[in-house]
Amino acid sequence: MSELLIKNAVVYDPINKVNGEKMDIAVKDGKIVDSIGNGADVIDAAGRLVYPGGVDAHTHIAGSKVNIGRIMRPDDSRLNNKPRTKITRPYTGYTVPNVYAMGYGYAEMGYTTAFEAAIPILKARHTHEEFEEIPIIDKGGLTLFSSNWMVMDAIREDDLDRVAAYVAWGLEASRGWGVKIVNPGGGEAWGFGKNVAGLDDPVPNFEVTPRQIIRYLAEANEKLNLPHSIHLHCNNLGKPGNYTTTLETFDICKDIKPKRDRQAVHLTHIQFNSWGGNHWGDMESKGDEIAKYMNKNDHLTIDMGQLVFGSATTMTADGPVQYANAKLLKARWANGDVELEDASGVTPLSYHPESYIHGIMWAIGLELALLTEDPWKVLMTTDHPNGGPYVNYPDVVTLLMSKKKREEAMAKIADLTFERTSIATIDRELDWYDIAIKTRSAHSKILGMVEYGKGHLGVGADADIAIYDLKPDETDSTIEYEKVKAALRRAAYTIKDGAIVVKDGEITATPMGRTYWVKSTAPSDAHDRMMADLKMKFKNYYSVNFANYMVQDEYVHNPVIEECGYA
């Protein structure tokens, strides 16, 4: 039995309403416990900042699109390199790190859990092969259903139970954790060189609309009693004026009553969907309008998708927007089609502070987090690597905690940015408790992972703990932001399941993390109808055999399976 005592910690654990209390944390056999014996190993935190291990509910860390990004960016593979050691494999890459650096980079910052945000069922086996190679952190993935023929056929026939049966089957086939929706209907339209322009624009050949796709999948999600809500990437991403579509989308699930203590819908990287104006020439922020809606409604959550200046590799199942990015910026572009399921694209680019458009995008993410009053409603993300690499999270934290830091950044950004945003007028500065919510607690709650011991330090939780080399009582985060950034970038200790995996910012151990997935059931009659349709599509349309399609158990290492039933 392994035992560990962390003494004199200044702890922030919002799920358990612990706000900067000086306390000890006892660990036994990888779990938080009330007390332990006298022979335990001891870490004296000496008044330093202690958080639960970080949780990232929306990131792109594994799968075919990430590999395409690596192939497209040989220049990126030469960045952030570290050689092999006795403990670690080689690190390579900045915007699209190799699989080893994915795990090491998160762990070095005190993160212990990350969820891949888009898994096509057909390519899920590839994703799990990469999960196996990402060290240390626990993982899960969200399965794409947004332009799937099976889903749209069932919607056209008004068969909600068949939609739910397919979602249950698709989650098991992909070993996924939740339902991801990207530009609903747009992926199928892109197969014909088109897109969907609005929530009521019919999808070619199916005559269903994005509004219907969202609504049916949200209702199916609740029928299946899934731990996470639908996870939605809105239509019209990356287009001036798209905030009106976003606000309209917010209302679609307003009357849905979640079966669990969570939101009815999570909308992701909303910075990219909070744009006003009619064209690039008059683009402006509508982050304030989005925040007003968030302050008045409790059925939804969002994440920032914060832009970070410098290199990025944009990748998404929103194929049309990537083609548009490539044409607009004369950039490299890769297109992907997942037969009968969705489309995707990858475009490398850079964000420049001299560009007022990029400046507005930078400001919007911060506006969303600072103008939304309840910190539990807005997660801190960069939509890695779309808004910027996740290793820049410490820099984003300092922008949220320090107006002075924001003013320093604004001095380098195009002046027109501040005529079209409200960021320069915002005085709010988040504190350590707020940051714990936005980087840990809310991520876990939104995903449905609290009961699995993620994002908190209550008795019975996983002993995933981050200790940072700064003392909150002696550090003024509004002024000493460089100190804050340095401490958060290299944790003094990262503890995973009670074992020290990082010490003084260096990897000390590389255990294999867990993979979380959901197994749900639907009524047998709906399942039978769905399977008859599915087998027909495999026979007539798919280029793979049904028997070779599903992810086998052998591909999922250290699985944790949530079993839930039809309600």
Mean pLDDT, residues 90-96:
96
Could you report the per-residue pLDDT of 389-444, keeping only the tens digit for each? 999 999 999 999 999 999 999 999 999 999 999 999 999 999 999 999 999 999 99
Q: Could you give all domains of the chain from N- to C-terminal order, each with its CATH number?
A: 51-460+463-507 (3.20.20.140)
Question: Is the pLDDT assigned to residue 297 strictly greater than 70?
Answer: yes
Helix, strand or coil for residue 401?
A: helix
Mean pLDDT, residues 61-85:
93
Quote the DSSP letter at residue 436. Answer: H
Instruction: Flag whether the pTM goes above 0.95.
Output: yes
Residue 498: which pLDDT band, with cuts at 50, 70 and 90? very high
Taking the mean position of all CA atoms in its chain, how far away is CA 184?
18
What pLDDT does 1 receive?
A: 52
In the chain, what percentage of residues exceed pLDDT 70?
A: 100
Question: Is the pLDDT assigned to residue 198 strictly greater than 80?
Answer: yes
What pLDDT does 438 receive?
A: 98
Closest CA to 65 of 335, 341, 326: 335
Mean pLDDT taken over the chain: 97
Closest CA to 274 of 316, 241, 300: 241
Quote the DSSP letter at residue 54. Answer: E
Mean pLDDT, residues 51-70:
96
What pLDDT does 324 receive?
A: 94
What pLDDT does 567 receive?
A: 73
Q: What is the DSSP string of 439-481?
A: IIIHHHHHHT-GGGT-S--STTSB--EEEESS-GGG--TTT-H
**Which H or E element spans position 393?**
helix 393-401
Question: Is the pLDDT assigned to residue 285 strictly greater than 90?
Answer: yes
Mean pLDDT, residues 461-475:
98
What pLDDT does 565 receive?
A: 84
As a whole number of angstroms, the distance between CA 498 and CA 27 comes to: 6
What pLDDT does 566 receive?
A: 86
Residue 445: which pLDDT band, with cuts at 50, 70 and 90? very high
- More confidently predicted of 78 and 24: 24
Query: Taking the CA of residue 432 as centre, how many other CA atoms within 13 Å lie in the half-sphere pointing to its CB?
Result: 27
Residue in this structure with the two tokens 């993935």, named with its chain if needed: 141
Could you report the per-residue pLDDT of 503-560, keeping only the tens digit for each? 999 999 999 999 999 999 999 999 999 999 999 999 999 999 999 999 999 999 999 9
